[in-house]
Structure 1
Amino acid sequence: MANLRSMVYENSNKLNDSEKQIIQFVLNNPKDCSKLSLARLAKKLYVSESAIFRLCKKLGLTGYSELKFDLAELAESKQKPIKIENNFARELSRVNDDVLKYFKQRDFDSLYHDLDDASTVYIYSTGWQQELIAQYLAHELFIVGKHATVLPSALDELKAVSRFAKKGDILFVISFTGDNETINEEITKLELVNDKFRYVSFTNMKQNKLASIVQHNIYFPTIAFTDDADYKSGKVAFTPAYYLIDLLVSEYVAWQQSQGEDIEVNVGN
């Protein structure tokens, strides 16, 4: 139905990811959904009845009854259901703008001092995606002259690293939430018995246990996206984390250059 289609087009920017999934499903299955009660549709989609009702209001419908009526007409028209506009590129641009603002607001001088003093940077990650980020961080540090070692994602490796680390070395811990109880307990123990490391957390969540027990904390946002055609969710893009690493490393190089200039000035005086 043209009216329902125009409503979706005009109001898609108001919908969150869950609401986009709901409307995509009903548009792809108008005949079946037009026969379901609000309670049965909510149960089928594993959402609350109020979530579907709020969606109707965002689309400009009076309620679920009007949605059912429009879906019935859509089913009769035998028109191909529309596909929700993919706003990932727009969201990525917005989130990267937020990353840049966050980076400019933070003072990383103390981290850069510790990086400069470290003979080796150790990087520990807690998952597959996090390990890819760890490899990227190690590569970026290597090309600016810092020796970085990526540790296997195993607790025994984390325990063992303190035996051969030198005083002043840095340990990055890349964790999605920062609330892995086992890892946090191990970091706490290491801090108690090992005065060699300076610890840096790299996490998605701003408020987390790991960030509260380390010397330096860095936050990166992620972007959720879904495959509406298959009605799947839970996929996350880590692009902003890589962007933040590039900002950190490039600014670290600029910081090093400024330190050299300061030394030259002091010698000249």
Structure 2
Amino acid sequence: MELESIINENYNNLNTTDKEIAEFLVQNKTLVKNSSLEKVAKASLFSQSSIFRFCKKIGLSGFSQLHYVLQETESSTASTLKNIDFLSQTLKSMIWTVNNFKGTKLDELYNVIINAQQIYIYATGWEQQIMAQQLQRNLYLIGQVSFVFPTAREEMNVTKANITSDDIIIVISYSGMNNSVVEMVEQFKLRGTKVMSFTSFHQNKIAQVSDYNLYYDVVIKTIFKYNRSEGFFSNLALLIDLFTMGLSNYMVSGKED
């Protein structure tokens, strides 16, 4: 698992200093990966004990395991970008998505969705908008009506006065770092509206401010014809299907209020 994902999962346990340490580590991965705890402390201006305590807070055994996480991430990324075996990479990515989904407790979220007056879906990009329509279709199949906003945020601004604390908003994003969307989510949370997000598994603001979050992995492949790398979102489609099927099971399990 990437460092950003580990931080996201433990973000609510971090204090202000921890969050500053997290930002430094994420922005200086090469330095951290190749340096001792003493050198990282000097470069970051945080004490060695503060960095060690941060590692423990995010579930690592210590600074040495942080090294291991960064090395594994670098190795995985290098293999992906070199296109050694995109089939194996996709399979590995799908297994990670399924296992991460299995390890996430969703009963509370499912209960919120079932009891919501309205379900709204907002996507931040073209590919994500397609996935939003898939989610809307899936929800319809199990008897849950939802509304998909257009990608233009102005439409959301016009309509948001009608969204209340009895509703839930599902945000689908790739980077999770769109400041205007983060601001929008925070405004909805202030009025008591529940927010769920689908984001890729790296440190991102939307996941941090959402009430509930599910992570998906993106497979990066080089397109040799154009000499550029592109992301493929099959795991987001998989995650949306898993999420909906789980909701369907929950609806007939007798657990809902």
TM range (shorter): 0.5 to 0.7
Question: Which ranges in structure 2 are unaligned for 5 or more consecutive residues?
Answer: 1-75
Secondary structure of the corresponding residue to residue 238 of structure 2: helix
Does the Cα contact within 8 Å between 1:141 and 1:249 map onto a contact in 2?
A: yes
Q: Decide which moves more: 180-189 or 134-143.
A: 180-189
Superposed counterparts of 1:118-157, under 5 Å: 118-157=116-155
1:202 alignment counterpart? 198
Letter in 2 for 1:126: T
**How many angstroms does 1:123 deviate by?**
0.6
Secondary structure of the corresponding residue to residue 147 of structure 2: strand
1:78 alignment counterpart? none
CA distance in 1, matches of 2:143, 2:164: 18
Q: Which residue of 209, 212, 218 maps to 1:216?
A: 212
- Give me the identity figure in percent: 27
Secondary structure of the corresponding residue to residue 154 of structure 2: helix
Query: Residues 245-266 of structure 1, C-alpha deviation per residue, up to 9 Å, x if partnerless?
Result: 1111111111111116x99xxx
Structure having greater relative contact order (Cα 8 Å, sep ≥ 6): 2
Does the Cα contact within 8 Å between 2:223 and 2:229 map onto a contact in 1?
A: no
Letter in 2 for 1:92: T
Query: Residues 143-175 of structure 1, C-alpha deviation per residue, up to 9 Å, x if partnerless?
Result: 100111110112222223332235421101111
Q: Are residues 15 and 160 of structure 1, via their aligned partners in 2, closer, same or farther at CA, if it must alter by over 3 Å?
A: closer
Question: Which ranges in structure 1 are unaligned for 5 or more consecutive residues?
Answer: 1-12, 21-83, 264-269
Q: Which residue of 107, 110, 113 maps to 1:112?
A: 110
CA distance in 2, matches of 1:203, 1:248: 14
Does the Cα contact within 8 Å between 1:201 and 1:211 map onto a contact in 2?
A: yes
1:47 alignment counterpart? none
Secondary structure of the corresponding residue to residue 234 of structure 1: strand
Letter in 2 for 1:233: R
Question: Alpha carbon RMSD of aligned pairs, Å?
Answer: 2.3
Letter in 2 for 1:225: K
**How many angstroms does 1:111 deviate by?**
0.6
- Once superposed, which parts of structure 1, at least 4 consecutive aligned residues long, lie more than 6 Å away? none
**How many angstroms does 1:190 deviate by?**
2.7
CA distance in 2, matches of 1:17, 1:198: 36
